[in-house]
């Protein structure tokens, strides 16, 4: 197995489609090394037409079967997420890859890997790690959610108080990052912990100058060890969490 491919001098990984508004539907926008593995993004079409057979042919037969059971944007987004995961897996030198579906709709990666998916209307992203000893979660959020009630509703009282100290623009960004990190934490941890996690079970702190995540899940003798990264990308933020249950 080889390591992740480094981006080329233009800042994109080899073979990636050019970034920007003209990336064709279902093309790879980027697939590059990330602190927790490889992060890849795929462009989604603006229409909910059925995914073309030539695109489905890029997936594993079991993935194609799952894709055929979906319709409209559900199918478009699902296929986009799987294609992003394939692009990430290729950077580990993996040729035969399938990201199956678990009982709680979580993505199930081949042995030795962990993976997570997120999609919005225009892009799907996948984070793939080459260890299954630690789980990963990824969440893509666009700026629209920053102003929405849901991003506000996920805050713990101390998070809300800390955000109120910030300038308006910084506050909106911190709120967006907090929301995305909690979604990513859910994806990394809900299934491995076998718990229904709530937004109160994670705390995001910006006092060091960058987002830091801690889990505070009630009733756990030992909290999961979590690390996080947030980047501004694809017109919004991509939050990534790596978790280890001790």
3-state secondary structure of 224: coil
Q: Is 100 in the site for ligand COA (CB under 6 A)?
A: no
Q: Which is nearer to ligand COA, 5 or 184 (CB)?
A: 184
Q: Is 130 in the site for ligand COA (CB under 6 A)?
A: no
Nearest distance from residue 112's CB to ligand COA, in Å?
A: 18
- CB 119: neighbour CB atoms within 10 A? 21
Choice from 139, 151, 159, 226 touching ligand COA (CB under 6 A):
139
Q: Is 63 in the site for ligand COA (CB under 6 A)?
A: no
Long-range CB pairs of 160-165, under 8 A, 24+ apart, other chains included: 162/205, 162/206, 162/207
Q: Which is nearer to ligand COA, 7 or 192 (CB)?
A: 192
Binding mask 11-30 for ligand COA (x = CB under 6 A): --------------------
Q: Considering Cα of 54, then 55, then 61, then 65, what sign does the dihedral take?
A: negative
**Phi-psi domain of 224 (left: phi exceeds 0; alpha: psi -120 through 50; beta: other):** beta
Q: Is 123 in the site for ligand COA (CB under 6 A)?
A: no
Q: Which is nearer to ligand COA, 108 or 166 (CB)?
A: 108
Q: Is 81 in the site for ligand COA (CB under 6 A)?
A: yes
* Length of the chain counted residue by residue: 246
Q: Where are the beta strands (DSSP E) in the chain?
A: 28-34, 37-43, 100-101, 107-108, 114-119, 123-129, 135-142, 202-205, 212-215, 225-233, 236-244
Nearest distance from residue 244's CB to ligand COA, in Å?
A: 16
Which window, 32-40, 42-50, 185-193, 224-232, contacts ligand COA (CB under 6 A)?
A: 185-193
Q: Is 37 in the site for ligand COA (CB under 6 A)?
A: no
The residue with tokens 């800042």 is 11
* Residues binding ligand COA (CB under 6 A): 77-78, 81, 104-107, 117-119, 139, 182-183, 185-187, 190-191, 197-199, 201-202
């Amino acid at each position: 197995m080889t390591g992740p491919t480094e981006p080329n001098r233009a800042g994109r990984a080899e073979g990636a489609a050019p970034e920007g508004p003209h990336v064709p539907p279902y093309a790879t926008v980027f697939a590059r090394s990330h602190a927790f593995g490889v992060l890849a993004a795929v462009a989604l079409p603006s229409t909910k037409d059925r995914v073309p057979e030539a695109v489905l042919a890029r997936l594993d037969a079991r993935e194609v079967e799952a894709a055929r059971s979906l319709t409209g944007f559900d199918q478009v987004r699902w296929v986009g997420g799987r294609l992003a995961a394939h692009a990430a897996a290729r950077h580990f030198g993996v040729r035969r890859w399938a990201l199956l579906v678990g009982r709680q709709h979580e993505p199930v990666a081949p042995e030795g890997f962990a993976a997570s998916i997120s999609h919005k209307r225009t892009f799907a992203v996948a984070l793939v790690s080459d260890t299954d000893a630690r789980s990963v979660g990824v969440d893509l959020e666009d700026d629209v959610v920053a102003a929405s009630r849901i991003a506000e509703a996920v805050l713990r009282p101390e998070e809300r108080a800390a955000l109120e100290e910030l300038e308006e623009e910084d506050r909106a960004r911190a709120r967006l990052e907090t929301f995305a990190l909690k979604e990513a934490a859910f994806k990394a941890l809900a299934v491995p912990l076998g718990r229904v996690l709530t937004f109160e079970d994670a705390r995001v702190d910006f006092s060091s100058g960058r987002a830091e995540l801690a889990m505070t899940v009630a009733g756990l003798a030992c909290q999961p060890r979590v690390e996080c990264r947030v980047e501004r990308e694809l017109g919004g933020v991509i939050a990534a969490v790596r978790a280890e249950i001790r």
